[in-house]
Homo-oligomer: A and B are copies of this chain.
């Protein structure tokens, strides 16, 4: 389950990435460079492939989560899940009754605009839910978050978690590598998956060895930035 980050917001890039062969793409509404309005065109751009679209929302807005699932996203990533209560809210936003509170429309794009509506609730494919563990509290509450029915992937936010450990060191009795191990152990015991964003293909195997299965490598923006640096400032041999 190899993915990559869509931070620029271009349907051209989404189409290239999906056809290149990624298993999933993360469309970033949290730190990305385009607003929600740019999302539908990106979701359409990958429709000829088997690539899954995961949308990172900025916060747990039930209507936004329902809307992007209606638009055809296969899953949701939510930042800063610090408690089981937040994880529960996230799951409820993404599921219909009785598990959750999502409103239902059989004419949504996800059901072919009504050409392929689910015959019964059993035909509804549940969304993939990724909860980001990226604060000290999140790590401390990982077991409770993992236990929430419907949370599929515990996804480490490396930048934020390391930032938090530096900014509030007195609150944590663990370091970053330990946090990665802890989260993987808890998830593994509970039969849940883990994920992380890494910056380089070279880091892939070591993170797989830690137990991560849903790994995203780099972002469109960083690939370009590094590509431009290599052109303008090539390493001297």
Seen from chain A, the residues whose Cβ lies within 8 Å of a Cβ on chain B are 2, 4, 7-13, 15-17, 19-22, 30-31, 33-41, 44-45, 47-48, 57-59, 61-64, 66-67, 70-71, 79-80, 96-98, 101, 103-109, 112-115, 121, 134, 157, 159-160, 163-164, 166-168, 201, 217-225, 227-232, 234
Closest B residue to A99 by CB, please name it: B167
Contacting A35 at CB < 8 Å: which of B36, B44, B232? Answer: B36
Asked if A64 and B58 make an inter-chain contact with CB atoms under 8 angstroms apart, the answer reads yes
Asked if B107 and A234 make an inter-chain contact with CB atoms under 8 angstroms apart, the answer reads no
Q: List the B side residues contacting A36 at CB < 8 Å.
A: 35-37
Asked if B44 and A107 make an inter-chain contact with CB atoms under 8 angstroms apart, the answer reads no
Asked if A41 and B38 make an inter-chain contact with CB atoms under 8 angstroms apart, the answer reads no
Known: A35-B35, A160-B104. A232 touches B20 (CB 8 A): yes
Contacting A80 at CB < 8 Å: which of B9, B103, B234? Answer: B103
A118 to chain B, nearest CB (A): 11
Asked if B7 and A10 make an inter-chain contact with CB atoms under 8 angstroms apart, the answer reads no
Q: List the B side residues contacting A4 at CB < 8 Å.
A: 228, 231
Closest B residue to A49 by CB, please name it: B48
Asked if A22 and B228 make an inter-chain contact with CB atoms under 8 angstroms apart, the answer reads yes
Closest B residue to A60 by CB, please name it: B63
Known: A8-B13, A231-B4. A35 touches B33 (CB 8 A): no
Asked if B35 and A225 make an inter-chain contact with CB atoms under 8 angstroms apart, the answer reads no
Q: List the B side residues contacting A113 at CB < 8 Å.
A: 12, 15-16, 19, 221, 225
Asked if A115 and B67 make an inter-chain contact with CB atoms under 8 angstroms apart, the answer reads no
15 A-B pairs within 8 Å (CB atoms) are namely A2-B231, A10-B12, A16-B225, A30-B66, A30-B103, A31-B67, A31-B103, A37-B37, A96-B163, A98-B168, A103-B157, A104-B163, A114-B221, A201-B230, A218-B227
For the complex with contacts A30-B66, A58-B62, 8 further pairs of A-B residues with Cβ separation under 8 Å are A2-B232, A41-B41, A58-B63, A59-B61, A97-B168, A107-B222, A114-B221, A121-B166
